[in-house]
Amino acid sequence: MDNANGQFGCAGAAVGPEKISADLGPLGWNDTFRFACHRGLPCFNRCCADVNIFLSPYDVLRIKHRLGLTSSEFLERYVLLPVEKSMKTPVVLLKMNDDAPRTCPFLTSHGCGIYSDRPWPCRMFPLGLAARRDTPDGWQGERFYFLLREEVCRGLHEPRQWTVRDWFDDQSIHDYDRWGEAFKELTLHQFFETGGELPPAKLEMMFTACYDLDKFRRFVFESTLLQRFEVDEDFIEEMRRDDETLLRFALLWLRFSLFGERTMKARPEAVAAVRGRTQRSAASNGPPPRAWPPAGQGKTVAPGVSAGSGAPEAPQPVAYAPGDEAGGLARQSLDQVGADQGGVP
């Protein structure tokens, strides 16, 4: 069985930019490499252990569906949440088993037990992805691939030849890539690149919106959030039942609430209320904090979600029902946005 329908799963190793250019050579879309993964190889199943697999929001969404779990259940059972001072955004790592080889919890004797929903790094192997930082938009600029020459992997010596393009098609990587790009608009945001740091409450809100979608759904539908923004009724109904739609909304809402981008449009009555409040606040507290983004930035909107136009608009801080778990965080988050946006001319 070749890797078109077989099992594979090396997560790959972190490789520095010097190593990529010196040893591995960037691969373009039409460049070729050799690889096949099948049970007949002596390394079969040996690579799915003791690996660091970072999960994206879309990875979590796919796997929790596959397992029939809520996002909270999945996060509790299967992930580690490493916390280090240097981290600017929340990070979710797949938890390996406690056995000696530290096998992946989804590994079976037949290979990956969640094969069609396996995470992005497992799909990509043996390809790694890198981007040149010296392009005008930094890490979001020109990207390229390279071959991860893992010693353990005998598949790299098989005769089957692929172009990068064919590999992407074969492994259904395109959907994952689209979601990855949308997520990067948050994690590689210029706010961070220019030294910005999120306070703990906003980090927690970002974690909930990205990874704990079922909890985020409760926040969306059990608070007055949707009364404060212009969101199409059909889109709202889709968010009730469809996690991908909800994730799209979550990413837009985060760009609005974390960075003040005009990815959503507040209802006029909410804007008027916040303007009055921020003016009173400015009068009593002196100059407002630094505003983000610079005027004129922020434009991506999902169908059904209206973007602001003209001067940035701020939402009214949301009133929450008692017992709304996410409410306290969001109230802080939106309060801060209101304050931040008070500083935009």
List residues near ligand SF4 by CB under 6 A.
8-10, 37, 41, 43-44, 46-48, 51, 104, 106-107, 112, 114, 118-119, 122, 125, 152-155
- Pair of tokens at residue 12: 């790959």
Measured from the CB atom, the residue of 46 and 218 that comes closer to ligand SF4 is 46
Cα separation of 160 and 36, whole Å?
Answer: 6
At its nearest, how many Å lie between ligand SF4 and the CB of residue 8?
4
- The distance of closest approach from Cβ of residue 180 to ligand SF4 in the complex, given in angstroms and rounded to an integer, is 16
Q: What is the sign, positive or negative, of the torsion defined by CA atoms of 330, 331, 332, 338? A: positive
User: Shortest distance, CB of residue 119 to ligand SF4, whole angstroms?
Assistant: 6
Cα–Cα distance list, 344 to 260, 281, 303, 341 (Å):
10, 15, 26, 5
Please state whether beta strands 32-34 and 79-80 pair in parallel, antiparallel, or not at all (unpaired). Answer: unpaired
Cβ count within 10 A of residue 345 = 6
Cβ proximity to ligand SF4, 7 vs 223, nearer residue: 7
Looking at the Cβ atoms of 121 and 298, the one nearer to ligand SF4 is 121
Residue number with the shortest CB distance to ligand SF4?
9
Here the tokens at position 109 are 């004797």
Least CB distance to ligand SF4 at residue 78 (A): 10
Least distance (Å) between residue 131 CB and ligand SF4: 23
Residue 195 tokens read as: 């030294």
- Cβ nearer to ligand SF4, comparing 152 with 311: 152
Nearer to ligand SF4, 37 or 273 (CB): 37
Nearer CB in complex with ligand SF4: 36/334: 36
Rounded least distance, CB 280 to ligand SF4, Å? 53
Contacts of 206 (CB under 8 A, 6+ apart): 89, 90, 186, 198, 254, 258
Closest CA to 148 of 50, 23, 12: 12
Which tokens is 99 given?
């056995």
Question: Phi, psi at residue 163, to the nearest 5°?
Answer: -90, 160
Q: What gap in Å lies between CA 249 and CA 301, rounded to an integer? A: 9
What phi and psi, each to the nearest 5 degrees, are found at residue 94? -65, 130
Question: Tokens 């078109």 — which residue?
Answer: 4
d(CA 215, CA 31): 43
Q: Measured from the CB of residue 11, what is the shortest distance to ligand SF4 in angstroms?
A: 6
When the beta carbons of 122 and 231 are compared against ligand SF4, the nearer one is 122
